[in-house]
Amino acid sequence: MNAPISVQEQEHAYLARLGERVRAWRTEHGMTRKQLSSASGVSERYLAQLEAGEGNISVLLLRKVARAMGVSVERLAREDDGGAKPVALVGLRGAGKSTLGAKLAATLNVPFVELDREVEKEAGAPLAEVFAMYGQDAFRRFERRALERVLSEHPRAVIATGGSLVTDPGTYELLLERCRCVWLKASAQEHMSRVLAQGDVRPFKGRSAALDEIRKLLADRERLYGRASAAVDTSGKAVRQCLAELRRVIA
Q: pLDDT higher for 37 or 114?
A: 114
Distance, in Å, from the CA atom of 244 to the CA atom of 198, rounded to the nearest integer, reads 23
* Topology agreement, domain 7-77 and domain 85-250: no
Q: What is the pLDDT of residue 89?
A: 97
Is the domain defined by 85-250 classed in CATH 3.30.530.20? no
Q: pLDDT higher for 76 or 7?
A: 76
Distances in Å between the Cα of 187 and the Cα atoms of 31, 82, 138, 184, 230 are: 34, 32, 31, 11, 17
pLDDT score of 195 more than 80: no
In percent, the amount of the chain with pLDDT more than 70 equals: 81
Q: What is the DSSP letter of 10?
A: H
pLDDT score of 81 more than 50: no
Please compute, for residue 10, the number of CA atoms within 13 A of its CA located in the half-sphere on the CB side: 5
Q: Where are the domains of the chain?
A: 7-77, 85-250
Say whether 57 sits in a helix, a strand or coil: coil
Q: Where are the alpha helices (DSSP H) in 78-226?
A: 97-108, 115-123, 127-134, 136-153, 169-178, 188-197, 210-225
Domain 7-77, CATH: 1.10.260.40
Contact 163, 89 (CB under 8 A): no
The per-residue pLDDT for range 208-245, each reduced to its tens digit, is 577 888 889 999 999 999 999 999 999 888 999 999 99
Q: What is the pLDDT of residue 230?
A: 93
The per-residue pLDDT for range 144-166, each reduced to its tens digit, is 999 999 998 888 899 999 999 99
